[in-house]
Chain A
């Protein structure tokens, strides 16, 4: 079984709808991240969490919210989806360690289309 799983894998929705993307991990890592990937822009950090009680905004958090339900679960919500949130979304985890040395383990991604 995959160490980092994301559901759903694909989602098409309409403008204004509320959407939740879920991420689960079995690696036992404390740190979890949500990124979005757009063609030509690379991965951009939306939110990150270093433990259940520690949640931080990334560079593009506007329009998104997150919930860390447990060490293993980190959900991303779009409260009112808009077309420019159409993108590939990745969840990632990393193990606590020295700064910069903690490699990140990515889930398979969720392709979200907002019509």
Chain B
């Protein structure tokens, strides 16, 4: 069956360090992968999109990689700040041209000052 996995354990890091979050998937062939940020009690907010033919995408302190062989995406936040503390969700298109996204359950990031 199709599955998206994100580390359910919270990631706890020191301010200034690089945070790395992982998104693994099985039985999908997505053309695109997206990352969203969700703060408590709020809706997810789009951060980055990466296509299957792109190895890496950057936006300010954010970097996303997409390895279709490993079926994995890594999401990096460099020079992390306490304001980066949130839950980060990955989402994949279903690969069947249906315009739907499948979301992972998210990984909570806590950046200590």
Residues of A within 8 A of B (CB): 4, 31, 35, 40-45, 48, 50, 58, 90, 92, 94, 99-109
Q: Which residue of A lies closest to B33 (CB)?
A: A100
- Cβ B34 vs Cβ A103 within 8 A: yes
Whole-angstrom distance between the Cβ of A109 and the nearest chain B Cβ: 6
- Cβ B42 vs Cβ A99 within 8 A: no
Please indicate the chain B residues that have their CB under 8 angstroms from the CB of A103 in the complex.
34, 46, 49
Please indicate the chain A residues that have their CB under 8 angstroms from the CB of B4 in the complex.
42
**Chain B 89-113 against A: per-residue CB contact (8 Å), 1 yes, 0 no?**
1011100011111111110000000
- Cβ B31 vs Cβ A100 within 8 A: yes
Residues of B within 8 A of A (CB): 4, 8, 30-32, 34, 41-46, 49, 89, 91-93, 97-106
Whole-angstrom distance between the Cβ of B94 and the nearest chain A Cβ: 8
- Cβ A43 vs Cβ B41 within 8 A: no
Say yes or no: A45-B100 contact (C-beta < 8 A), given A106-B45, A109-B43: yes
Please indicate the chain B residues that have their CB under 8 angstroms from the CB of A42 in the complex.
4, 89, 103-106
Please indicate the chain A residues that have their CB under 8 angstroms from the CB of B49 in the complex.
100-101, 103
Please indicate the chain A residues that have their CB under 8 angstroms from the CB of B34 in the complex.
100, 103
Please indicate the chain B residues that have their CB under 8 angstroms from the CB of A101 in the complex.
32, 49
Whole-angstrom distance between the Cβ of B53 and the nearest chain A Cβ: 12
Please indicate the chain B residues that have their CB under 8 angstroms from the CB of A104 in the complex.
44, 46, 91, 101
Please indicate the chain B residues that have their CB under 8 angstroms from the CB of A109 in the complex.
41-43
Whole-angstrom distance between the Cβ of A60 and the nearest chain B Cβ: 12
Measured between alpha carbons, how far is A108 from B44 in the docked complex, in Å?
9
